[in-house]
Amino acid sequence: MNHIIVEGFIGSGKGAVARAVGKKLKLTVVDVDRKVSERMKMSVAEIYERFGEPYYRAMETIVLGDLAQTQKEQVIVLGSGVAMMPQNRKYLKELGTVYYIKLKQQTIIENMKNSKKHEWIRSDGWDEQVSKLYKEREPAYSKTADVVIKADGKSVEEIADEIVRGHLKTGPDAE
């Protein structure tokens, strides 16, 4: 299959980039976090609170397995922890090309400071928490990615265009 898969750290803009790619290529955008939430009929926060992170990670794997059955090409946005689970890499390789939106840690912290979406993480010592998560997750993103996009200083449109160009070179219609 040749789905376009977008991964990145919290606050990397992966959802906005995926929507831009979907619009440019006229593809459906599927958000793994949203799929888990719909399946459980609970918010992500509620799932974490009630069942914990290991359960949530297992649900992500189930959703990836479901997506692996989908033949119609789509843009898939990964939750920021999907790459942490080694069993997910098998599904991701089957699904298509993984594009990692790589930002410097300081850029991510700035993005999160300016975002209403990530208010949940802002508490005493949140930047240390982000730093710890970044150090844990960045190697997994790099290992999972087929293409690393250094995104510092680039707009959503520029990143989306880079993904589209890469996909058109390797996609189902490539020569």
In a domain? residue 45 = yes
Give, in order, the Cα–Cα distances in Å from 148 to each of 26, 99, 103, 143.
23, 6, 10, 10
pTM: 0.90
* Residue 79 or 130, more confident: 79
Cα-to-chain-centroid distance, residue 114 = 19
Contact 75, 4 (CB under 8 A): yes
Tell me the sheet residues that pair with 5.
76, 98
pLDDT score, position 163: 97
- Mean pLDDT (the chain, rounded): 89
Q: Is 73 a domain residue?
A: yes
Are 105 and 130 in contact by the 8 Å Cβ rule? The answer is yes
Which of the four pLDDT bands, split at 50, 70 and 90, describes residue 148?
Answer: very high
The amino acid present at 73, given as its one-letter code, is E
Q: How confident is the model at residue 113 (pLDDT cuts 50, 70, 90)?
A: confident
- Answer whether residue 175 shows pLDDT above 50: no
SS percent in the chain: helix, strand, coil, step 5:
60, 15, 25
Q: Specify if 150 maps to a domain.
A: yes
**Three-state DSSP state, 155:** coil
Is 44 a domain residue? Answer: yes
Residue 118 has pLDDT above 70, yes or no: no
**Does residue 173 lie within any of the structural domains?**
no
Q: How far apart are alpha carbons 74 and 3 in whole angstroms?
A: 5
- CATH (domain of 45): 3.40.50.300
Answer yes or no: is 75 within a domain: yes
Q: Please give the residue range of the domain that contains residue 139.
A: 3-168
In a domain, 24, yes or no: yes
Domain count, the chain: 1
In-domain check, residue 175: no
Calculate mean pLDDT across residues 63-80.
92
pLDDT of 35 reads 96
